[in-house]
A = this chain, B = another copy of it.
């Protein structure tokens, strides 16, 4: 995935061109703090990769790549308030470091600046990109709302859970690919196939994230093994296990999962193992992956770039931690 490093360097260089009016220091310091505490930059990188795949160029994808990264980070600022999260990427969250008002207002301005980046593109491409952002931005809010709702709902089913992760995490990744393709002058049809590729990879990725939270063998710094279990999160693993159990066993499992007993993680994993939940999760993940590959094949990319995307997908899905 050497190509990714080249993209990353180009993207980081592009970001350094920003400068903010010091009069509004308290508004933009949290923005700079967030944008410089880089995550994996996956979304901007796929904007660039999709653009290059269709046009041979990356430069014209940069403003949209930045827009997507700003948008993603805006959601993190507000999510951290809603989750009361003190940490983000191993550092203080904006909420913790700069306070509630900064997390809200600087988040707002990041969202607006994200839209503002797109002005570099001429009509009608401008409108095409904005519509992809808007449509998926609304979905991201809807997904976040479902996630909040699920915390207090007792009747969440697996289809709803899959819809929630699609909305909350997969569609923005999908939108990034579609926008890159559109900038690279792909047809609407090709761009839509890349969108579906991204959406299905995104869902598979989140499925894997759920599995690794419980079964990962090298938890990332700051991420507690079994964190989802401890927080009683209604993940695929939990919902499918509920589905597989019956009668008293089902009731007992639900009680255990909602409880705070000692050894809760080990006890839950014991039940997970008994219903071979890892196998089920693997199958569902694989089904989404197969869908992703079929859309990739239909996107009309050259063999070289189809391969690049396949490698990229496998790179994302091969983590063991």
Contacts and interface: CB of A to CB of B under 8 A. Distances in A.
A124 B104 CA distance: 32
Contacts of A138: 109, 112-113, 116
A21 B123 CA distance: 31
A295 interface: no
A239 interface: no
A148 B27 CA distance: 10
Interface stretch (A125-133, A202-210, A246-254, A281-289): A125-133
Interface residues of A, number: 37
A259 interface: no
A81 B109 contact: no
A101 B183 CA distance: 35
Interface string A104-137: 1100110111011001000110110011001101
Contacts of A123: 123-124, 126-127
Interface of A: 21, 23-24, 26-27, 78, 81-82, 100-101, 104-105, 108-109, 111-113, 115-116, 119, 123-124, 126-127, 130-131, 134-135, 137-138, 141-142, 144-146, 148-149
The 5 closest A-B pairs by CB, nearest first: A123-B123, A27-B145, A123-B124, A109-B141, A112-B137
